[in-house]
Amino acid sequence: MDDRQFRQAMGKFATGVTVITTELEGDIHGMTANAFMSVSLEPKLVVISIGEKAKILNKIKESKIFTINILAADQQELSMIFAGQLKEHREVVFERLDGKPVLPGSVVQVACEVSAEHVEGDHILFIGKVTDIHLSDAEPLIFYSGKYRSLEKLETVTI
Protein backbone atom coordinates (compact mmCIF):
# COMPACT_ATOMS: atom_id res chain seq x y z
CA MET A 1 0.00 0.00 0.00
CA ASP A 2 1.49 3.39 -0.97
CA ASP A 3 0.76 6.86 0.51
CA ARG A 4 -1.47 7.85 -2.44
CA GLN A 5 -3.69 4.80 -2.04
CA PHE A 6 -3.97 5.39 1.73
CA ARG A 7 -4.91 9.06 1.22
CA GLN A 8 -7.40 8.15 -1.50
CA ALA A 9 -9.03 5.50 0.70
CA MET A 10 -9.28 7.78 3.77
CA GLY A 11 -10.72 10.54 1.56
CA LYS A 12 -13.71 8.27 0.85
CA PHE A 13 -14.91 8.93 4.40
CA ALA A 14 -17.24 11.92 3.89
CA THR A 15 -16.79 14.52 6.64
CA GLY A 16 -17.74 18.03 7.59
CA VAL A 17 -15.06 20.72 7.57
CA THR A 18 -13.87 22.57 10.66
CA VAL A 19 -11.56 25.45 11.39
CA ILE A 20 -9.57 24.96 14.59
CA THR A 21 -8.53 28.21 16.27
CA THR A 22 -6.34 29.09 19.20
CA GLU A 23 -5.05 32.32 20.71
CA LEU A 24 -1.60 32.97 22.13
CA GLU A 25 -0.52 36.35 23.53
CA GLY A 26 -3.39 38.09 21.72
CA ASP A 27 -2.67 36.51 18.30
CA ILE A 28 -5.41 34.31 16.84
CA HIS A 29 -4.33 31.44 14.58
CA GLY A 30 -6.65 29.15 12.62
CA MET A 31 -6.26 25.93 10.63
CA THR A 32 -8.70 23.93 8.50
CA ALA A 33 -9.17 20.37 9.77
CA ASN A 34 -11.52 17.48 9.20
CA ALA A 35 -9.85 15.07 11.66
CA PHE A 36 -12.32 15.80 14.45
CA MET A 37 -14.44 13.44 16.50
CA SER A 38 -16.60 13.37 19.59
CA VAL A 39 -15.01 11.14 22.28
CA SER A 40 -17.01 11.11 25.53
CA LEU A 41 -20.31 12.36 26.94
CA GLU A 42 -19.34 12.30 30.64
CA PRO A 43 -17.07 14.20 30.78
CA LYS A 44 -17.66 15.95 27.46
CA LEU A 45 -14.53 15.34 25.38
CA VAL A 46 -13.59 15.74 21.70
CA VAL A 47 -10.41 14.96 19.76
CA ILE A 48 -8.58 16.73 16.92
CA SER A 49 -5.53 15.52 15.00
CA ILE A 50 -2.86 18.04 13.99
CA GLY A 51 0.09 17.31 11.68
CA GLU A 52 3.54 17.67 13.28
CA LYS A 53 4.51 20.41 10.77
CA ALA A 54 1.44 22.62 11.30
CA LYS A 55 2.23 26.04 12.76
CA ILE A 56 -0.83 25.87 15.00
CA LEU A 57 0.64 22.87 16.86
CA ASN A 58 2.97 24.69 19.25
CA LYS A 59 0.44 27.46 19.73
CA ILE A 60 -2.16 24.98 21.05
CA LYS A 61 0.51 23.28 23.19
CA GLU A 62 1.30 26.65 24.82
CA SER A 63 -2.16 28.20 25.03
CA LYS A 64 -3.83 24.94 26.18
CA ILE A 65 -7.07 26.08 24.54
CA PHE A 66 -8.70 25.65 21.13
CA THR A 67 -12.06 26.01 19.42
CA ILE A 68 -13.66 23.90 16.71
CA ASN A 69 -15.85 25.71 14.19
CA ILE A 70 -17.97 23.39 12.02
CA LEU A 71 -18.24 25.31 8.75
CA ALA A 72 -21.51 26.10 7.01
CA ALA A 73 -22.11 25.37 3.30
CA ASP A 74 -21.47 29.06 2.47
CA GLN A 75 -18.09 29.12 4.29
CA GLN A 76 -15.94 27.26 1.74
CA GLU A 77 -13.79 30.37 1.35
CA LEU A 78 -12.94 30.26 5.08
CA SER A 79 -11.89 26.63 4.69
CA MET A 80 -9.58 27.65 1.84
CA ILE A 81 -8.18 30.62 3.80
CA PHE A 82 -7.29 28.47 6.82
CA ALA A 83 -5.88 25.64 4.68
CA GLY A 84 -3.45 28.11 3.06
CA GLN A 85 -5.12 27.59 -0.34
CA LEU A 86 -5.57 31.30 -1.14
CA LYS A 87 -2.52 33.31 -2.17
CA GLU A 88 -3.46 36.68 -0.70
CA HIS A 89 -4.02 37.30 3.05
CA ARG A 90 -7.68 37.88 4.01
CA GLU A 91 -8.87 39.65 7.13
CA VAL A 92 -11.13 37.37 9.15
CA VAL A 93 -13.50 38.56 11.86
CA PHE A 94 -13.78 36.47 15.02
CA GLU A 95 -16.25 36.54 17.88
CA ARG A 96 -15.91 34.99 21.35
CA LEU A 97 -17.31 31.89 23.03
CA ASP A 98 -16.21 31.33 26.63
CA GLY A 99 -13.55 33.99 25.92
CA LYS A 100 -12.05 31.96 23.04
CA PRO A 101 -12.00 32.99 19.33
CA VAL A 102 -14.74 31.48 17.12
CA LEU A 103 -15.96 32.09 13.57
CA PRO A 104 -19.36 33.80 13.20
CA GLY A 105 -21.77 31.91 10.93
CA SER A 106 -20.42 28.43 11.73
CA VAL A 107 -22.93 25.59 12.16
CA VAL A 108 -21.45 24.80 15.57
CA GLN A 109 -18.79 26.49 17.69
CA VAL A 110 -17.11 24.36 20.37
CA ALA A 111 -14.79 25.90 23.01
CA CYS A 112 -12.23 23.54 24.59
CA GLU A 113 -9.42 23.31 27.11
CA VAL A 114 -6.67 20.79 26.29
CA SER A 115 -7.02 17.86 28.69
CA ALA A 116 -4.44 15.52 27.09
CA GLU A 117 -2.19 15.17 24.05
CA HIS A 118 -0.85 12.03 22.38
CA VAL A 119 1.82 11.74 19.69
CA GLU A 120 0.73 9.16 17.11
CA GLY A 121 3.03 8.79 14.11
CA ASP A 122 3.36 12.16 12.34
CA HIS A 123 0.25 13.66 14.01
CA ILE A 124 -0.58 14.87 17.53
CA LEU A 125 -3.99 14.11 18.99
CA PHE A 126 -5.39 16.78 21.31
CA ILE A 127 -8.19 15.75 23.63
CA GLY A 128 -10.35 18.77 24.40
CA LYS A 129 -12.59 19.20 27.43
CA VAL A 130 -15.63 21.09 26.12
CA THR A 131 -16.28 24.30 28.10
CA ASP A 132 -19.07 25.76 25.93
CA ILE A 133 -21.01 25.16 22.70
CA HIS A 134 -23.06 27.33 20.33
CA LEU A 135 -25.36 25.83 17.66
CA SER A 136 -27.06 27.35 14.61
CA ASP A 137 -29.46 25.98 11.96
CA ALA A 138 -27.09 26.47 9.02
CA GLU A 139 -26.38 23.63 6.55
CA PRO A 140 -22.87 22.13 6.80
CA LEU A 141 -20.02 22.19 4.27
CA ILE A 142 -19.04 18.63 3.24
CA PHE A 143 -15.62 17.29 2.16
CA TYR A 144 -15.45 14.05 0.17
CA SER A 145 -12.81 12.55 -2.07
CA GLY A 146 -10.75 15.76 -2.05
CA LYS A 147 -13.68 18.00 -3.06
CA TYR A 148 -16.09 20.34 -1.30
CA ARG A 149 -19.74 19.28 -1.53
CA SER A 150 -23.10 20.24 -0.10
CA LEU A 151 -26.01 18.23 1.28
CA GLU A 152 -28.46 19.93 -1.11
CA LYS A 153 -28.19 17.28 -3.86
CA LEU A 154 -29.01 14.54 -1.34
CA GLU A 155 -32.28 16.22 -0.37
CA THR A 156 -34.02 14.99 -3.54
CA VAL A 157 -33.78 11.40 -2.23
CA THR A 158 -37.00 10.35 -0.49
CA ILE A 159 -36.95 7.51 1.99
Of positions 33, 46, 71, 102, contacts ligand FAD by CB under 6 A: 33
In this complex, which beta carbon is closest to ligand FAD, that of residue 31 or of residue 72?
31
Question: What is the layout of strands, in order, in the sheet containing 147-150?
Answer: 15-16, 141-144, 147-150
CA 11-136-70 angle, to 5 degrees, is 25
66 counts as binding ligand FAD under rule CB under 6 A: no
Contact region for ligand FAD (CB under 6 A) — 39-47, 65-73, 81-89, 131-139? 81-89
State how far the Cα of 85 lies from the Cα of 146, in Å rounded to an integer: 13
Q: Give percent helix, percent strand, percent coil of the chain, each to the nearest 5.
A: 20, 50, 30
Shortest distance, position 157 Cβ to ligand FAD, whole Å: 24
Of residues 117 through 146, those in contact with ligand FAD by CB under 6 A are: 143
Element (H, E) at 58: helix 56-63
Evaluated on CA atoms 30, 95, 107, 120, the torsion sign reads positive
Using CB under 6 A as the criterion, what x/- string covers residues 82-121 for binding ligand FAD?
A: xxx----xx-x-----------------------------
Shortest distance, position 129 Cβ to ligand FAD, whole Å: 19
Of positions 56, 70, 110, 111, contacts ligand FAD by CB under 6 A: 56
State how far the Cα of 65 lies from the Cα of 113, in Å rounded to an integer: 4
29 counts as binding ligand FAD under rule CB under 6 A: yes
State how far the Cα of 61 lies from the Cα of 139, in Å rounded to an integer: 32
Please report, as ranges, the residues that interact with ligand FAD according to CB under 6 A: 17, 28-35, 49-51, 54-56, 79, 81-84, 89-90, 92, 143
